[in-house]
Amino acid sequence: MECLWKRKSATSRRIRQRKSALRRIYMDPEDEDRLRTWRKLIVNVPIEKILPRDISFGPGIERDGDAAERMAFFGDKYLNLSVAKALERQLLDGDETMSIGEMSVLCSSARSNMLFAKLLPKLLTPDMVAAVPEEAIMEGRQHSVGTLLESCVYLVYTTGGGEGAAAVDELGAFNDDSVPNLMGEGAYADRTSATCSRSDGREGR
pLDDT in tens, 64-101: 999 999 999 999 999 999 999 999 998 888 777 888 99
What is the average pLDDT across 56-60?
91
CA-nearest of 65, 32, 76 to 168 is 76
Residue 13 has pLDDT above 80, yes or no: no
Q: What is the pLDDT of residues 169-189, one digit of tens each?
A: 999 999 999 887 765 544 444
Question: CA-based angle 170:175:179, to the nearest 5?
Answer: 155
Report the distance separating Cα 61 and Cα 83, nearest Å: 32
Asked if residue 19 lies in contact with residue 127, where contact means CB atoms within 8 angstroms, the answer is yes
Residues in the chain: 205
Residue 158 banded pLDDT, cuts 50, 70, 90: very high
Amino acid at 101: G
Q: What is the pLDDT of residue 30?
A: 79
CA-nearest of 79, 103, 62 to 174 is 79
Q: What is the pLDDT of residue 85?
A: 95
Asked if residue 191 lies in contact with residue 105, where contact means CB atoms within 8 angstroms, the answer is yes
Percent of the chain having pLDDT more than 90? 49
Percent of the chain having pLDDT more than 70? 73
Asked if residue 146 lies in contact with residue 54, where contact means CB atoms within 8 angstroms, the answer is no
On the CB side of 69, CA atoms within 13 Å amount to 8
The residues near 162 (Cβ < 8 Å, ≥ 6 apart) are: none
Q: Would you give the DSSP letter of residue 99?
A: -
CA-nearest of 155, 143, 114, 133 to 58 is 133
